[in-house]
Chain A
Amino acid sequence: MGIFDYFKSKGEPSSASVAKDRLQIIVAHERSKRKQPDYLPQMQQEIIDVIRKYVKVGSDDVQIQLENIEDCSILEVNVTLPDN
């Protein structure tokens, strides 16, 4: 690195470290999706349909996630109910 770069790059993270951070996040996200069982998308849709049968919510208002922590699977259903 020359003296010009020294003044220029002070304080800013390098583009390589930005790349590494972005990759670590996206790769972790995609790996967790890979481990999901094949039936999950359909099950998610059916759960959403059941909730919408009783409560008026948009499809984006229901979030379903399956998390695996060691040998325990947690199915998390998050419903944002309408205001009234």
Chain B
Amino acid sequence: MDWLLVGSSGDMALAKIIVVTSGKGGVGKTTSSAAIGTGIALQGFKTVIIDFDVGLRNLDLIMGCERRVVYDFVNVINKEATLSQALIKDKRTKDLFILPASQTRDKDALTQEGVQGVLEELAKEFDYIICDSPAGIEKGAQMALYFADAAIVVTNPEVSSVRDSDRILGILQSKSRRAEEGKEPIEEYLLLTRYHPERVALGEMLSVSDVEDILAIPLLGVIPESEAVLKASNQGTPVILDTESEAGLAYTDAVDRLMGEERPLRFLDIQKKGFFKRLLGG
């Protein structure tokens, strides 16, 4: 693992910048950012999750802090607010902060220098900076990944999502700061979400190994399709805190793997059905 060195004054700040990205929309980037950010903070690392989706702020809702947003990322870039004014301290998890996106419709609100300034300031205080990318491959998505040290590519086992993930991998390898400066490339991890083991067994859905074969990047985790995800977002609680749910536990495993632990994959077996149900294919 290598660490980003920030600060031209010679002071060394150690912060790891992780982008959660996908290309395609609706695959679970914000859900995953909220869950993984919370999971890292639970391990005792000071963590901030930044919503890069300017104009379509949603991380605040998923984290349940939507009524506490006063200033946002763009206000900080434009020096209309300080970072400490804009950061929202999570009420449930110690060491966790959220930097909300702006609801402005100005697409050029995020400048590269502005983003860099905010990240450098955050890097002095935080251990992990999670960048929740917007969908697409436009400027917002490029800003979210530009300064990253690692990328979590959220993918559904479905053709358009897999293709878009491959496209994002190409951008990570060519348009990031690490690529432009010829440094060690961004670490890439696959997070497969909305996985139905039953449908995979029936040959109706791409399997984990199918997606691994195509994208050829290390697997961080597989999150099974779970009712707990909608329930958690309804309540504004990151799903990782639902330790009764398979999705929550699968996210915990993914965070442990991100931290270098070995965790076997779970929840990929089909739930046992009764004999008659199986016989009739119900």
Q: Which residues of A contact B (CB under 8 A)?
A: 1-5, 9, 14-17, 19-20, 22-24, 26-27, 30-31, 34
- Distance in angstroms between the alpha carbons of A22 and B278 in the assembled complex: 31
Q: List 17 A-B contacts (CB under 8 A).
A: A2-B279, A4-B281, A5-B281, A9-B203, A14-B203, A16-B205, A16-B206, A17-B203, A22-B159, A23-B206, A24-B213, A24-B214, A26-B163, A30-B166, A30-B170, A34-B170, A34-B174
B contact face: mostly helix, strand, loop, or mixed: helix
B174 and A1: CB pair below 8 A? no
A contact face: mostly helix, strand, loop, or mixed: helix
- Distance in angstroms between the alpha carbons of A1 and B213 in the assembled complex: 25
A2 and B210: CB pair below 8 A? no
Given contacts A31-B170, A34-B170, contact A20 B214 (CB under 8 A): yes
B214 and A27: CB pair below 8 A? yes
> Known contacts A30-B167, A31-B166, A34-B174; can you find 6 more A-B pairs with CB under 8 A?
A2-B279, A5-B202, A16-B200, A20-B213, A26-B163, A30-B163
Counting CB contacts under 8 A, is B207 at the interface? Answer: yes
Interface size class of B (residues with CB under 8 A): 20 to 34
Counting CB contacts under 8 A, is B40 at the interface? Answer: no
Q: Which residues of A contact B207 (CB under 8 A)?
A: 16
Q: Which residues of B contact A27 (CB under 8 A)?
A: 162-163, 166, 214
Given contacts A14-B203, A15-B203, A16-B204, contact A23 B163 (CB under 8 A): yes
A1 and B163: CB pair below 8 A? no
Q: Which residues of B contact A16 (CB under 8 A)?
A: 200, 203-207, 210
Given contacts A27-B214, A34-B174, contact A19 B280 (CB under 8 A): no
- Distance in angstroms between the alpha carbons of A4 and B202 in the assembled complex: 13
* Chain A to chain B: the 10 pairs with minimum beta-carbon distance, closest first: A2-B281, A14-B203, A20-B210, A34-B170, A5-B281, A16-B203, A27-B166, A2-B280, A4-B281, A19-B159
